[in-house]
């Protein structure tokens, strides 16, 4: 906040629940003019607009899903200086109309939310993020980059690609002492539903189960319901109205259980999630930390548990093959050697394989889970004997840790 008020660039790496929204909301009020916030998802934009309005900050989002009259009204408000927060997707910055509008907006601050999306080494790489740095040619305002999960390599790439000048760096610890960490090994072909059912019944409060595909989500939810447990599914294939209803139920019900893909989570403002269970580990530790980190945001004890089996990596390799196919022909190999388009594909694929190896090392390696997570994000500490992971204590003690709150 101080950097923004002094007109300086900044990078904030703040864990989930660490107050990233406040970092630009407060300067937006004090600086006047418009603070442009670049954010990747429409659902996240709408949630941030709602939060801004609840805080008394005039806010609006600009995205393709809005009717044209509404888009034009938002642009008029922004040009007239009637908005303090304007949320846009990175692709919006590339459009000719928005670029022509920029010099006429009273922009005081540019905030890049989920800034890890700028990096090949990040877990949600978004090509349009690479062009955000060009905004500096048209806007004389400081840039604030915010993210919850960035390794040292990703942090350096954010600084370089956004062309941050002598930035203030605020790096909060990734350590969450109130979270317990554990992995349950599942033999190949063994059923997972009984384990999931036992885990979610072992604690009260809000509980989340993450699965890798929509089919898995529906299957797990159906089995839980057939066993007498109230649970709802959430994934991008559901109608928007139903997704909104599930979000509202999860936010308000005393002890909800939601089974979801990673589409669920951003902008879900519930602090007392007591357990996050992964049916299988995600493809990156960044994804795992971000999703598991939605537990215990109230500071009270919570458990983050993942099931891991010998074939779990196959689904993530299929995802990788779909997004970054392997180089199969001599022509593609030669193109990569010469620095052509195939080289980029080969490099994003290499990153993906390294990220999957890091997940396997976390699942199979010895030593403290907490220490392994901190080391991945370039942070020392987390000595063995943390008393809150399955490597440093037993499961009975882990559940006593959960009950200690």
Which is it for strands 302-308 and 232-234: parallel, antiparallel or unpaired?
A: unpaired
User: Does domain 179-313+351-403 bear CATH number 3.40.50.1110?
Assistant: no
DSSP 389: B
Q: Which residue stretches of the chain have pLDDT < 70?
A: 17, 120-124, 266-268, 324, 332, 334-340, 342-347, 381-384, 404-405
pLDDT of residue 120: 66
Long-range contacts made by residues 380-385, C-beta under 8 angstroms, separation at least 24? 381/173, 381/175, 382/175
Predicted local distance difference test score (pLDDT) of residue 382 = 53
pLDDT of 25 reads 93
Q: What's the pLDDT score for residue 381?
A: 66
**What is the predicted pLDDT for the residue at 168?**
96
pLDDT, position 46: 81
Residue 69: C-alpha distances to residues 41, 66, 75, 88 (Å): 21, 8, 10, 17
CB environment 348-362: b (16+ within 10 A), e (fewer): bbebbeebbebbeeb
Q: What is the pLDDT of residue 266?
A: 63
pLDDT value of residue 336? 64
Homologous superfamily (CATH) for 2-171: P-loop containing nucleotide triphosphate hydrolases (3.40.50.300)
CB 209 within 8 A of CB 257: yes
pLDDT at 288: 92
The structure's pTM equals: 0.80
pLDDT at position 256 is 95
The number of residues in the chain equals 405
Distance CA 149, CA 301 (A): 21
For 17, phi and psi rounded to 5 degrees? 85, 5
Q: Tell me, what DSSP letter sits at residue 270?
A: -
Tens digit of each residue's pLDDT (9 = 90 or more) over 225-256: 999 999 999 998 999 889 889 988 998 999 99
């Amino acid at each position: 906040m101080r950097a923004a008020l002094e007109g300086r660039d900044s990078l904030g790496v703040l864990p989930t629940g660490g107050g990233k929204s406040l970092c630009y909301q407060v300067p937006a009020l004090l600086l006047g003019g418009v603070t442009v916030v670049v954010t990747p998802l429409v659902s996240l934009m709408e949630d941030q607009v709602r939060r801004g309005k609840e805080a008394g900050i005039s806010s609006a989002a600009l995205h393709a899903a809005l009717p044209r009259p509404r888009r034009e009204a938002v642009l008029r408000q922004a040009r007239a200086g009637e908005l303090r927060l304007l949320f846009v997707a990175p692709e919006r910055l590339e459009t000719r109309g928005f670029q022509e509008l920029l010099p006429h907006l009273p922009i005081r601050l540019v905030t890049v939310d989920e800034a890890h999306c700028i990096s090949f080494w990040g877990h949600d790489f978004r090509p349009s993020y690479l062009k955000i740095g060009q905004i500096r040619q048209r806007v004389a305002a400081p840039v604030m980059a915010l993210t919850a999960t960035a390794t040292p390599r990703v942090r350096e790439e954010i600084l370089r690609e956004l062309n941050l000048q002598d930035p203030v760096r605020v790096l909060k610890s990734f350590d969450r002492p109130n979270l317990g960490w554990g992995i349950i090994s599942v033999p190949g072909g063994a059923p997972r539903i009984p384990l999931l059912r036992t885990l979610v019944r072992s604690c009260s409060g809000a509980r989340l189960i993450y699965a890798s595909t929509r089919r898995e989500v529906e299957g797990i939810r159906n089995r839980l319901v057939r066993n007498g447990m109230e649970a709802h599914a959430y994934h991008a294939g559901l109608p928007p109205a139903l997704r909104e209803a599930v979000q509202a139920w999860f936010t308000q019900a005393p002890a909800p259980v939601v089974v979801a893909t990673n589409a669920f989570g951003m902008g879900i403002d519930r602090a007392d999630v007591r357990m996050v269970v992964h049916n299988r580990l995600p493809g990156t530790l960044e994804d795992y930390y971000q999703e598991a980190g939605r537990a215990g945001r109230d500071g009270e004890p919570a458990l983050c548990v993942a099931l891991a089996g010998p074939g779990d990596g196959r689904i993530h390799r299929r995802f990788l093959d779909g997004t970054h196919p392997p180089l199969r022909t001599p022509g593609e190999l030669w193109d990569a050697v010469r620095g052509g388009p195939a080289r980029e594909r080969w490099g994003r694929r290499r990153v993906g394989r390294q990220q999957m190896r890091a997940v396997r090392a976390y699942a199979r390696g010895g030593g403290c889970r907490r220490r392994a997570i901190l080391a991945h994000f370039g942070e020392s500490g987390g000595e063995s004997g943390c008393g809150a992971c399955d490597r440093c204590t037993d499961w009975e003690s882990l559940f006593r840790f959960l009950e200690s709150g």
